[in-house]
Amino acid sequence: MRETKSQRKDRTEQIIKLLKRAHPDAHCALNHSNAFELLIATILSAQCTDERVNIVTADLFRKYRKPEDYLKVRDTELQQDIKTTGFFRNKTKSIQGACKMLVEDFQGEVPKTMEELLKLPGVARKTANVVLGVAYGIAVGIVVDTHVGRLSHRLRLTKQKDAVKIENDLL
């Protein structure tokens, strides 16, 4: 038997209540001290554990403090710095491309809108939602990673496979 809209809403509210009770101190697992560091850490987190990203960014954030620092370094050196996060060549291109755009188009500041964030290389909805929600307290969407997608299926909150469609169902 199919759930009515009202039943689905009640079940979803119950799930949220249980999750809040089970995880009252839920927070972003990526170590950062500002929106820029969170942006870099989130780009690095693709296909990588938060634990590994935090190990890499501990040194990275001491070495590179602002977008201009990432632009001054040779790509081969940055690749070495982030190599253990995997896909280091693509991530280097994304980080340096995002930093170039931050400097040229956003006065070195991380944008505060979904539309502007999505213009940055290496930034899709997941990264934009993380930065907006965690760094700026702006909730325009839901972060859908592998785990959220999997749990959303198990909890019967979506039948979708695509992250954007899952996000829409969860919203």
Active-site annotation, residues: 126, 145
HSE value, Cβ hemisphere, 13 Å, CA-based, for 45: 24
- Look at the alpha carbons of 143, 138, 52, 65 in this order and tell me if their dihedral is positive or negative: positive
Indicate left, alpha or beta for 64 from its phi (over 0: left) and psi (-120 to 50: alpha). beta
CB contact at 8 A, 71 and 100: yes
- The owner of tokens 């253990």 is 84
- Mark out the alpha helices in 23-145 (DSSP H runs): 35-44, 50-63, 67-72, 75-82, 88-105, 114-117, 125-130, 136
